[in-house]
């Protein structure tokens, strides 16, 4: 026979508190003194106490499960975001189930059916490539939903994004100040507001400098497409001397083509700037100058917004944009008179 399961009463006795206090601690109630709550958690960990989530669900009428819907994890930014988002929701007392969905109608139907069958309390749609149909279906289901890192022109859904227009403008302005005049943009996807905003920021900076883009190409946020378009650009008589790429996942492919296939020097022959600051961007292999998405603040805003809507489904929907910053590494030429070490002071800082 195994040892008896540790109960909330056991934890309460050992921590010197009442059993309702233990329940409030594990229900993430704010009514418990933080010092007392920390003592309860420490005792629970020492005793091996596992909260009865089934009873908790029955008592509250909630499942305490959140569904996170993604299209893929090839882009390292989404892997990092998923890990942090799961941790933030776990800390608020919710378990996480991850679903993968494409854009075909049958996949949309299957995902919506799974979300409803699993009785999730809320949903995070965390991919720019998910179809508008899925967003509409989820919204009509009545389950609270927040779009993460995916903008959409829909007043009836909440969303959290970086300030993508400003990020695109910032990256392009940096290239212009570094003396580049033949600048191309490998854009995201015309159906994704994130990509459109980054492209519009690029175009605004070019217009302000009285420059015309060498090219502005929709690459669907796909690495292989960006690599093919890079080959085409440099097969032309007047190739670009700088490229602003709409995400790091594509920029890594661009750098591979430039350095390995075309034997070009980066940034001496051509500068490259990406977008996201995915973990691999800081690898010596890539050393990618990029616009950092403010991931920590985006995660916290998403979790808070979703839980607020779970508690009050009548709340007005919100659109939150959070400014990012340009992280200067070795893939882009510096503006005259600027020193890389000063610009790169925050390279390893975590948002």
Confidence at 106, pLDDT banded by 50, 70, 90: low
Strand residue runs (E) in 6-136: 65-70, 95-100, 122-125
Of 58 and 100, the structure prediction assigns the larger pLDDT to 100
Sign of CA dihedral 309, 120, 90, 320: negative
Residue 297 has pLDDT above 70, yes or no: yes
Q: Which residues is 271 bridged to in the sheet? A: 242
CA-based end-to-end distance of the chain: 49
Identify the pLDDT of residue 209.
Answer: 97
Task: Give the contacts of 285 (CB within 8 A, at least 6 positions apart).
Answer: none
C-alpha torsion angle, residues 260, 261, 263, 264 (rounded to 10) = -90
**Which 3 state secondary structure label does DSSP give 125?**
strand
Contact (CB, 8 A) for 122 and 145: yes
Match 């003194």 to its residue by tokens.
33
Measured CA distances, 206 to 47, 193, 274, 275, 338 (Å): 62, 20, 17, 18, 21
> DSSP state, 280?
G
Q: Tokens representing 209?
A: 């400098």
Q: Which of 218, 194, 207, 159 is nearest to 291 (CA)?
A: 194
Phi-psi region of 149 (alpha: psi -120 to 50; beta: other; left: phi over 0): left
Distance CA(143)–CA(139), nearest Å, equals 7
C-alpha angle 215-218-221 in degrees, rounded to nearest 5: 125
Contact (CB, 8 A) for 245 and 186: yes
Of 345 and 329, the structure prediction assigns the larger pLDDT to 329
Q: Tokens representing 13?
A: 């006795």
pLDDT tens per residue, range 218-270: 998 899 999 999 999 999 999 999 999 999 999 999 999 999 999 999 999 99
Of 318 and 231, the structure prediction assigns the larger pLDDT to 231
Contact (CB, 8 A) for 149 and 128: yes
Contact (CB, 8 A) for 327 and 311: no
Measured CA distances, 120 to 55, 145, 302 (Å): 16, 11, 16
**Which 3 state secondary structure label does DSSP give 70?**
strand
Residue 323 has pLDDT above 60, yes or no: yes
Kindly report the backbone phi and psi dihedral angles of residue 7, in degrees, each rounded to the nearest multiple of 5, phi listed first. -105, 170
Confidence at 49, pLDDT banded by 50, 70, 90: confident
What are the chain's domains?
A: 60-160+296-323 (3.40.50.2300), 164-294+326-343 (3.40.50.2300)
Distance CA(236)–CA(219), nearest Å, equals 18
pLDDT tens per residue, range 110-153: 777 787 777 888 889 886 555 567 777 777 778 888 988 876 66
Counting beta carbons within 10 angstroms of the beta carbon of residue 41, is it exposed (0 to 12), middle (13 to 18) or buried (19 or more)? middle
Longest CA–CA separation in the chain, Å: 80
């Amino acid at each position: 026979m195994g040892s008896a399961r540790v109960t909330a009463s056991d934890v309460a006795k050992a921590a010197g508190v009442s059993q309702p206090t233990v329940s409030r601690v594990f229900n993430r109630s704010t009514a418990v003194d933080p010092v007392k709550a920390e003592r309860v958690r420490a005792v629970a960990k020492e005793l091996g106490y596992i909260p009865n989530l089934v009873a908790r669900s029955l008592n509250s009428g909630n499942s305490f499960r959140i569904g996170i819907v993604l299209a893929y994890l090839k882009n390292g930014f989404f892997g990092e975001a998923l890990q942090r988002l799961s941790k933030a929701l776990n800390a608020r007392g919710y378990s996480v189930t991850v679903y993968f969905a494409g854009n075909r109608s049958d996949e949309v139907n299957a995902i919506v059916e799974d979300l409803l069958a699993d009785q999730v309390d809320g949903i995070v749609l965390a991919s720019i490539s998910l179809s508008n149909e899925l967003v509409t279906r989820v919204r009509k289901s009545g389950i609270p939903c927040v779009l993460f890192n995916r903008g959409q022109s829909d007043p009836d859904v909440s969303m959290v994004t970086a300030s993508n227009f400003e990020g695109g403008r910032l990256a392009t302005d940096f290239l212009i100040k570094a003396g580049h005049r033949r600048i191309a943009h490998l854009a995201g996807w015309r159906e994704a507001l994130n990509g459109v905003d980054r492209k519009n920021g690029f175009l605004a900076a070019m217009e302000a400098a009285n420059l015309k883009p060498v090219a502005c190409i929709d690459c669907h946020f796909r690495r292989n497409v960006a690599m093919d378009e890079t080959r085409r650009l440099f097969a032309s008589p007047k190739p670009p001397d700088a490229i602003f790429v709409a995400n790091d996942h594509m920029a890594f492919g661009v750098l591979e083509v430039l350095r390995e296939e075309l034997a070009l020097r980066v940034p001496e022959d051509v500068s490259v700037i990406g977008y996201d600051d995915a973990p691999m961007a800081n690898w010596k292999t890539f050393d990618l100058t990029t616009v950092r998405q403010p991931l920590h603040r985006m995660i916290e805003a998403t979790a808070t917004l979703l839980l607020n809507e779970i508690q009050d489904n009548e709340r007005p929907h919100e659109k939150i944009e959070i400014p990012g910053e340009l992280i200067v590494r070795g893939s882009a030429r510096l503006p005259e008179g600027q020193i890389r070490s000063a610009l790169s002071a925050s390279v390893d800082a975590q948002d």
